[in-house]
Amino acid sequence: MKPRILRTYVRQLTAAGYDVAELLGDAGITLESIEALAPIAADNVASIIDTLATRLPECAALQAGKYTQVGDLGLVGYRQLFSRSFREAIDVWIRFSVLTSHPFAGKFAVDGARWQLEYRPNLPLTSRALRFCSDEALSSLQTLLGNFFGAEIPSISIHLPFPGTDALSRSYAEIGYDSVIFDAPYLAIEGDSSCLDRSLICIDSDVRALCENQCQTMLSLAIAEVGFATRVEHALRLYDSLPTAHVVAARLGVSRRTLHRELAAEGTSFHRILDRVRRERAELLFANGKLALKEIAWQLGFADPSGLRRAARGWTGTTLPDRDRSLAA
């Protein structure tokens, strides 16, 4: 993948006064290669983010996000900028975020007077990296909303899948979040539905159509470039409870037989990808420490906790109680 998100992080952190070259140190990548968008495996991108998260102070990502620019999102950012409403801008991000190599995919829902946008990791993030990416994404969002509307969107709350501190609560309040819920089962933002049809400050139908067409073209090329296995993995990450091959095949518009054939041609299988995503999600859910074992098993796509216990033994060779302690460490 082209590490656009790494380039964004480097630019933001540099603007915030951090020496990113020193932070990366022995991470095995240079600032020059990041700036040139030299292709890098998704696992390596996640590892580099973890390195940054480990070496930076607690609220560095929140500080860096204040320096985001519409251009950091490339053409997708400008397509959002020329949306007719906040609702359309959210839809644009959900459809085209893959073009930005963003670490999250979005799941949007409206329930009466409230809307919610849930962020699902696209990368195999550690708990430290998830915290870093969450802080940056939420800080950047407030900065971009100022660009889109010329003002803040009121009454936005956030759900964070990690423990909070007084300093972090104050930092989120300072950038405009009215309510912060820590130790949530997932990362999400929510707000008043009356804001969804609020107009953006840049409304130009010709520019909007041009950006939409270009994004569609780029998306088609990106899908062909990333490979079928990556598309399957991204699809799996969008579900609350990990689905069957049949469900994923339907989402991708292919038969189950075609799904298995395409994955075999790329030297992998649905079971292998599913097991990897399950293990990553299990680590985050256990580290959260707030969900019952039955709920964790459901989110991982198991019919009951016994399936989770067997999977944990396969992953580590330990029993589930030992696995609990290792994941929470």
Task: Report pTM.
Answer: 0.77
| Whole-number pLDDT of residue 164 | 84
Q: Label residue 155 left, alpha or beta by phi (over 0 means left) and psi (-120 to 50 means alpha).
A: left
Do residues 190 and 233 both lie within one domain? no
**What is the DSSP-derived secondary structure letter of residue 307?**
H
- The SS3 of residue 139 is helix
Residue 27 lies in a domain: no
Do residues 237 and 185 both lie within one domain? no
| Whole-number pLDDT of residue 136 | 95
Residue range(s) defining the domain that contains residue 319: 227-328
Residue 48 lies in a domain: no
Do residues 76 and 163 both lie within one domain? yes
Q: What is the mean pLDDT of residues 303-308?
A: 83
The number of domains in the chain is 2
Does residue 152 register a pLDDT over 70? no
Does residue 220 register a pLDDT over 70? yes
Do residues 245 and 117 both lie within one domain? no
| Whole-number pLDDT of residue 199 | 86
Do residues 114 and 191 both lie within one domain? yes
Residue 300 lies in a domain: yes
Cα 11 from chain centroid?
19
Residue 160 lies in a domain: yes
| Whole-number pLDDT of residue 319 | 63
For residue 236, give the amino acid letter: L
Q: What is the mean pLDDT of residues 267-287?
A: 86
Number of alpha carbons in the 13 Å side-chain half-sphere of residue 18: 23
Confidence of residue 289 (pLDDT cuts 50, 70, 90): low
Q: What are phi and psi of 111, to 5 degrees?
A: -130, 90
pLDDT tens digits for 105-147? 888 999 989 999 999 888 888 889 999 999 999 999 988 888 8
| Whole-number pLDDT of residue 320 | 62
Residue 318 lies in a domain: yes
Confidence of residue 18 (pLDDT cuts 50, 70, 90): very high
Average predicted confidence (pLDDT) for the chain: 86
| Whole-number pLDDT of residue 323 | 45
Does residue 326 register a pLDDT over 70? no
Do residues 191 and 232 both lie within one domain? no
Confidence of residue 91 (pLDDT cuts 50, 70, 90): very high
Q: Of 72, 61, 70, 55, which is closest to residue 13 (Cα–Cα)? A: 61
Does residue 171 register a pLDDT over 60? yes
Confidence of residue 230 (pLDDT cuts 50, 70, 90): confident
Q: What is the mean pLDDT of residues 150-160?
A: 78
Do residues 139 and 260 both lie within one domain? no
Do residues 80 and 130 both lie within one domain? yes
Residue 201 lies in a domain: no
Do residues 247 and 178 both lie within one domain? no
Do residues 180 and 231 both lie within one domain? no
Residue 14 lies in a domain: no
Do residues 88 and 190 both lie within one domain? yes
Does residue 154 register a pLDDT over 70? no
Q: What is the mean pLDDT of residues 266-277?
A: 92
Do residues 250 and 191 both lie within one domain? no
**CATH number of domain containing 307:** 1.10.10.60
CB 190 within 8 A of CB 116: yes
Does residue 37 register a pLDDT over 70? yes
Give percent of the chain above pLDDT 70.
Answer: 94
Select from 151, 173, 195 the last residue of a domain. 195
| Whole-number pLDDT of residue 20 | 94
Does residue 210 register a pLDDT over 80? yes
Residue 187 lies in a domain: yes
Confidence of residue 329 (pLDDT cuts 50, 70, 90): very low
Cα 193 from chain centroid?
23
| β-strand partners of 23 | none
